[in-house]
A = this chain, B = another copy of it.
Amino acid sequence: MMQFEPPKLKKNFLDHLTAIVGPGDYSAKNLDRFNYSRDSNFKSVIRIRHSQVEPLPDVIVWPKDAEQLKKLVRLAIRTKMPMIPFGGGSGVCGGTIAETGGMIVDMKKMYRLLKVDSANLLATAETGIMGYTLEKELQRKGYSLGHFPSSILCASLGGYLAARSAGQSSSRYGKIEDMVRELEVVTGKGEIIQTRDVGNGDGIDLNQIFVGSEGTLGFITKATLRIYPLAPHQAFRGVRFKNMKTGMEAVRRIMQTGLKPAVVRLYDEIDTLLFMGYKKQKGVIEALSGLTVPFRKFLMSPSLWGALSAPKLVAPVLSHLPTGCLLILMHEGIERLVAEEQKIVMEICHDLGGADLGEEPGRVWFEHRYSVSYKASPLFHSGAFVDTIEVAATWDRMEALYKAVLKAMSPHCLVMAHLSHAYAEGGSFYFTFLAPLSGLKKSEALYDLIWDEGIEACQEIGGVISHHHGVGRLKAKYMDREWGEGAALYRRFKDHFDPHGIMNPGKLVELKKKQKEKAA
């Protein structure tokens, strides 16, 4: 049985909470504090396996509207209490960990879809709404947000916005920051502000200051977003390429021809191998994209441990498997346009030696598209840990990025990758890595080493270290190099919107000493 320090709360403080949200909508119970002490970052999972708990928040609060939240911020300012926004808890970067204790603000009671505006194709929702609920409600009315992260079942709209989320269809509909028209924000000064849609107008677009700020400037409480009529038609395809080089060239040409496939995913040899297993064995537990019975057996077998202790030897063998590299395509829209688009895409693939595998690989992917995000636990039980690094680059750097990150990580773990999001100017590579669990210190050190090596390789190439998972606690230390002057500018915003240093401390960028002291 774990023992926790009691929260550092005064009676007076709790009375204020009662006055603001009522007696039932906050909790300082150890069970709640424990439950809210982590998100889905794998380091937390490693720790918990060894009965190590992340820093506990002192209290969890469930406000019902921006007015209550404003009062909470003002209370937190008076009592110098850190505040951490919490949505679905699906983040994998430790963005919601209460590093220095404080108040977790769970946004899930602000869950209403306020308006579906069919005249203008806009929707307004409170940000505590879960991604899947939002999409389902929209679809019921004939619309879609066009945003399908694999975490859709366990992520909130607020989380999407805080971390610049990308859905699986971002090549057609953009990332969440492209969808935002207006925001309501409760700042770290305890003010409620409204940004205005200036997408068609003049002045400065303030939406883009809050999207991606990961709760470090304030709480995004409401958002107006672009929506789309439900696509009347979808078409799927799988194409096999000889190797990543030709596959990547095909994806680049598709996107730069101005075509807008909804899904474009290119799997490398090992990732393809796992994916192909689907076709034979459906319905089993999949922890990774494509984790199948044969692979589960492999995980339980001594061969895994061989592979993991000598990944340098195994990876080259696996990468020469005759699977080739699988490209998954989905087109959607008006049937006649989809048909023409698909034809043009297939011509591009054919020119680069791509073999048409027909509809099935695309359909199989579609059926399993949400199976990744919240099913990693079977792997832990089998004694391995798994995590993902999603980086991005322009096309000129893409092959180098793929090779360099793979090379940097491979000595330490089994790595596979797919190009998961593609755009005209570049795309995102999604690396999945698997390493054996051992003692806490050793596992943590290995985890940090793999991350440092992967990120170092990415930054050396000039890539972007995070495409859609956000930064959180995990990557804050890399952001000064990543962001350059941007980090300096951000610190000014931080001073402005969070002058008391209480908003989600320890996240996004490492602060200057003075700012750190404020937060401490």
Residues of A participating in the B interface, judged by any CB pair closer than 8 Å = 117, 119-122, 163-164, 175, 177, 181, 193-213, 226, 228-229, 252, 256-258, 333-334, 336-337, 340-341, 343-344, 392, 394-396, 421, 423-428, 464-471, 475, 479, 482-486, 488-490, 492-493, 496, 508-509
Contacts and interface: CB of A to CB of B under 8 A. Distances in A.
A203 B194 contact: no
Contact of A205 (B211, B228, B229, B396): B211
A163 B203 CA distance: 8
12 contacts: A120-B394, A121-B256, A177-B205, A193-B489, A194-B484, A196-B484, A200-B423, A201-B482, A204-B210, A204-B211, A207-B208, A340-B340
A202 B257 contact: no
A334 B464 CA distance: 32
B486 A206 contact: yes
B496 A492 contact: yes
Given A396-B120, A492-B496, A486 B336 contact: no
B229 A489 contact: no
B194 A226 contact: no
Nearest to A344: B334
A484 B470 CA distance: 30
B203 A122 contact: no
Nearest to A172: B258
Contacts of A204: 208-213, 486, 490, 493
Nearest to A117: B396
A334 B394 contact: no
Most buried by B among A181, A200, A423, A489: A200
Contacts of A333: 258
A164 B204 CA distance: 9
B208 A466 contact: no
Given A336-B340, A337-B340, A122 B202 contact: no
B396 A196 contact: no
Contact of A344 (B203, B336, B344, B469): B336
A115 to B, nearest CB: 11
A216 to B, nearest CB: 10
Given A194-B484, A201-B464, A206-B489, 15 more contacts: A119-B252, A119-B394, A122-B425, A164-B198, A181-B425, A195-B485, A196-B485, A202-B467, A202-B470, A202-B475, A203-B212, A203-B483, A204-B208, A337-B341, A340-B340
Contacts of A120: 394-396, 425-426
6 closest cross-chain pairs (CB), A and B: A201-B464, A208-B208, A119-B396, A120-B394, A202-B466, A193-B485
A193 B484 CA distance: 9
Given A204-B490, A337-B337, A464 B198 contact: yes
Nearest to A164: B202
A467 B195 contact: no
A230 to B, nearest CB: 11
A4 B204 CA distance: 36
B395 A119 contact: yes
A264 to B, nearest CB: 14
Given A121-B424, A396-B120, A202 B471 contact: yes
Given A193-B489, A196-B484, A496-B496, A164 B201 contact: yes
Nearest to A339: B340
A200 B486 contact: no
Contacts of A210: 204
A337 B122 CA distance: 27
A496 B493 CA distance: 9
A424 B199 CA distance: 12
B209 A209 contact: yes
Nearest to A120: B394
A219 B471 CA distance: 30
A336 B340 CA distance: 7
A200 B464 contact: yes
A187 B233 CA distance: 49
A256 B117 CA distance: 12
A196 B394 contact: no
B196 A471 contact: no
B486 A203 contact: yes
Contact of A200 (B426, B475, B490): B426
B200 A392 contact: yes
A435 to B, nearest CB: 24
Contacts of A256: 121, 229
